[in-house]
Amino acid sequence: MELRRIILGHFLVISLALNMGLLYRDYYYNGNRKPQDVFTFKNKGKNASLYAKRDAHLGKRTFLEASKASSSSSSSSTVLDEVIDLDHGDPTMYERYWQQMGDKTTVVIPGWKFISYFSDVSNICWFLEPEFASAVFRLHNLVGNAATEDRHIVVGTGSTQLYQAVLYALSAPNATEPISVVSVAPFYSSYPLITDFLKSGLYTWAGDARKFKLDKPYIELVTSPNNPDGFTREPIVNQNHGTLVHDLAYYWPQYTAISSRADHDIMLFTVSKSTGHAGTRLGWALVKDREIAKKMTEFVMLTTIGVSKESQLRAAKILQVISDSHEQKVSKESEAFFDHNYNLMTRRWQQLKNAVKASNLFSLPDLPTEKCAFSGRTFATQPAFAWLKCEGEIDDCENFLRGHKIITRGGKHFGDSNKFVRISMLPRDEVFDKFIEQLSIISSLPSSKDR
């Protein structure tokens, strides 16, 4: 309830700033058009003007002037480099792999293509490019992470749009009150915001699923592996009139063992977290029920009249190359996608676990170990986010880490305690290495030893 009030009240903008993990990366293209990355961060202490730059995007008026000052200075990169931003889940870790793959995934689009709104009117989702649909089915069948038989694909502008499409599809247009939307805490921090920001009469955020006891229609979101904590999730509400939505954005073999083929009624996926192409803004839903698929399609039609064909064409190519990389393993240079990124995640998690072990300040959850039916490996879930707990007397872990120039997202945004923070495990190598280094420095500080 408190969360709800904050969202709907005049703190909306600030809440958004903190929750959506806005973003502090400047692309500066040099003469060769290679991106030279400069990070700006929400380190309010020493770098207020840098933090302001981010806040400026979200309407925090007090920081506007500072922002201007900051962006007019071109010599700020030295200062920026000191701060480590792991607040948002920008999956730039994947850039290196795709660079190594060279032109295999290059797409070429002539100017006369994609003039029409329509992709395939024989499909319920008439704006779904058939090439993208085939690539999705092929990849799921290869990985074995989701059932595809008798499923409709609904494509969306990221799984964020599909999440809203599901709420629309599952709500009754003539109901006297909005349907309740719940998820077990800690839940993805965007769920409450996206559910409530338009004050829809169709659906409303009802918080932690564990506390939901009403005998009324509800939608339970089951995110597995869970964002933020990485645990495998099952539905928990035991009432009538419920509909389950499975957010499987992270159910891929670089993050977790594929223990079985998910076979749920509504399953959401996104390229952001599977291939790393967040800028492509593309997600897909596998939907059993024809009427739900139709209503989801209707939502996407009403809100954006379909989904970028360019994104679909490019994602199709990328998914096909991933499948190819596993079916035609040839050389070291063309290492298979999931193997390469599984190994990368393993290394990162080992680094983080070592750093946490060497400290008396932090702890990590014990994530389940299972055998992966795809790779044959037995391993513990190594999620895209670490759910780090500050031990002892540190009650505001986000604030504590910010004081040490590590920017994370505090537990309260996920409906949990501020003893926790969510940390992105998907930045570029240099940022991740610096994060580990910084954790060790914090642990070795005299003030830290006192705690």
Q: Which is nearer to its own copies, 122 or 331 (CB)?
A: 122
- What does R_g of the chain's alpha carbons equal in angstroms? 22
The smaller minimum CB distance to its own copies, of residues 154 and 442, is found at 154
Instruction: Please state, in angstroms and as integers, the Cα–Cα distance from residue 223 to each residue in 182, 184, 227, 251, following that order.
Output: 11, 9, 7, 9
Shortest distance in whole angstroms from residue 442 CB to its own copies: 27
In the complex, the smallest distance separating the C-beta of residue 328 from its own copies, rounded to whole angstroms, is: 17
Q: How far is CA 99 from the centre of its chain?
A: 22
Give the largest Cα separation in the chain, rounded. 68
* DSSP label of 412: G
- Comparing C-alpha atoms, which of 180, 268, 254 is closest to residue 224? 268
**Shortest distance (Å) from residue 263 CB to its own copies:** 24
Residue 121 burial by Cβ neighbours in a 10 Å radius (0-12, 13-18, 19+): exposed
- The nearer residue to its own copies, 5 or 332, going by C-beta atoms, is 5
Specify the residue for token string 């995640």: 345
Nearest approach, Cβ of residue 147 and its own copies (Å) = 22
Q: Which two tokens stand for residue 241?
A: 């009139």
CB of residue 361 to its own copies, shortest distance in Å: 30
Closest separation between CB of residue 298 and its own copies, Å?
6
Q: Of 113 and 449, which CB lies nearer to its own copies in the complex structure?
A: 113
Name 267's bridge partners: 246, 286
The minimum distance between CB 358 and its own copies, in angstroms, equals: 32
- For its own copies, the closer CB: 117 or 395: 117
Nearer to its own copies, 97 or 374 (CB): 97
Q: Which two tokens stand for residue 265?
A: 């009624």
Which tokens belong to 24? 């502090």
Instruction: Supply the minimum distance, in Å, between the C-beta of residue 449 and its own copies.
Output: 37
Residue with tokens 């290059």: 106
- Return the number of the residue (214 or 302) whose C-beta is nearest its own copies: 302
50-87 burial, b for 16+ CB within 10 Å, e for fewer? bbbbbbbebebeebeebbeebbeeeebeebbeebbbbb
Residue 295's identity, in one-letter code, is K
Instruction: Give the pair of three-digit tokens for residue 396.
Output: 């505001």
Q: Between 156 and 355, whose beta carbon lies closer to its own copies?
A: 156
Question: Distance (Å, rounded) from C-alpha 394 to C-alpha 418?
Answer: 9
